[in-house]
Amino acid sequence: MMFPFFLSHRSRTERDANAIRLRAGWLAIVAAVVTIALKFTAYALTGSAGLLSDAVESLANLVTASAVLISIWYASRPVDRSHNYGHGKVEFFASGVEGLFIVGAAVAIGWIGVIRLFDPHELESLGLGTVIAIAASAVNLLVARMLIRVGRAYRSPALTADGRHVMTDVWTTGGVLIGLGIIAFTGWLWVDALIALVLAVNIAFTGWRLIAVGVNGLMDRALPLADERLVREAVETALRDAPDRETTFHALRTREAGSRRFVDFHLLVPGRVSVGDAHALASDLEQVVDRALPGVETTIHIEPLEDDASYRDSDLLVLEDGPERAHRVETGSGFR
Ligand SMILES: [Zn+2]
Ligand SMILES: [Zn+2]
């Protein structure tokens, strides 16, 4: 899918990127309001527990879309006296809070399902209800894809999380409609309650994944291994051309905070190298890292390679020699 016209301007400046993130955030709120109206209408027409579950879920969308918008705005504020590393981490809070809300919605939907399982209701106006639910789902599909794209392109975990969340709603509505179709043909009213229960489990998993994203971010989880490797290889390649062959580095660390990414490491140079020369090399390496991972903020600590103390100044050094680093594996979800 193409970006809508007002999101298509790809600019290099952070201010423009942020304007695009904010617009995407507003669009998510508008979409949430529209789908809430449509889905509760569909429920009122049919009396379906499945459609009611779907409508409750879109209420959670509105709450979380609002949290996302506030966090994007806050994350965009420049560094200040009290937040020297910027405000990006607020996006991980948003992801975690969003996850909690979604788990809450899952519990509510599960409760509706249990009640209806023991007390099935006759369904009405299934045709019109279905048409309205499909319209709501189409709105969600367009918005979800836009959010995921903008979130990835402009590295906003909050937007990406919101997009994934809205995308699960598309599947949710699809499942509800299939169930209503089965009921229309068979008259098995318990299918409606069963759908609500299945939705509850699926939605709870979505919430769990978002909580995991929030926790990983707040815990300063390292960048993906592939990104770390890019940085290491770029620095190693650059050091082959360094003025002194024995120049090396260690204790490389990475982390991210919202859309900002950070790298730091120790640069080991011969003790006789002047401060000016060592700093010039460090500045070159910062450029090298920026080319490998654009936008990364790099900090380099310079130390004399002859001094034993240089090799005892980071707990990471043990891991770099051991099997730990090589065995760090990437998993798609969960707490890593
Ligand atoms: Zn400097
Ligand atoms: Zn060191």
- Domain CATH for 109: 1.20.1510.10
Q: Which ligand is nearest to the CA of 314?
A: 2
Counting the structural domains of the chain, the total is 2
Domain-terminating residue out of 190, 218, 246: 218
ipTM of the complex: 0.69
Q: Answer yes or no: do 141 and 211 share one domain.
A: yes
Q: Which ligand is nearest to the CA of 250?
A: 2
Going from the Cα of 241 to the center of ligand 2, the distance in angstroms, rounded, reads: 21
Going from the Cα of 304 to the center of ligand 1, the distance in angstroms, rounded, reads: 17
pLDDT tens, 34-54? 999 999 999 999 888 888 888
Q: Answer yes or no: do 148 and 25 share one domain.
A: yes
Going from the Cα of 322 to the center of ligand 2, the distance in angstroms, rounded, reads: 16
Going from the Cα of 87 to the center of ligand 1, the distance in angstroms, rounded, reads: 23
Going from the Cα of 278 to the center of ligand 2, the distance in angstroms, rounded, reads: 15
Q: Answer yes or no: do 198 and 100 share one domain.
A: yes
Q: Answer yes or no: do 11 and 28 share one domain.
A: yes
Q: Where does the pLDDT of residue 9 fall: very low under 50, low under 70, confident under 90, or very high at 90 and above?
A: very low
Q: Answer yes or no: do 127 and 232 share one domain.
A: no
Q: Answer yes or no: do 139 and 269 share one domain.
A: no
Q: Answer yes or no: do 202 and 259 share one domain.
A: no
Residue 82, class by beta-carbon neighbours within 10 Å (0-12 exposed, 13-18 middle, 19+ buried)?
Answer: exposed
Q: Answer yes or no: do 111 and 250 share one domain.
A: no
Residue 334 domain flag: no
Give the residue, 157 or 26, on which the prediction is more confident.
26
pLDDT tens, 139-155? 999 999 999 999 999 88
Across the chain, what does the average pLDDT equal? 85
Q: Which ligand is nearest to the CA of 302?
A: 2
Q: Answer yes or no: do 155 and 127 share one domain.
A: yes
Residue 316 has pLDDT above 80, yes or no: yes
Q: Where does the pLDDT of residue 5 fall: very low under 50, low under 70, confident under 90, or very high at 90 and above?
A: very low
Going from the Cα of 310 to the center of ligand 2, the distance in angstroms, rounded, reads: 4
Q: Which ligand is nearest to the CA of 310?
A: 2
Q: What is the residue range of 58's domain?
A: 5-218
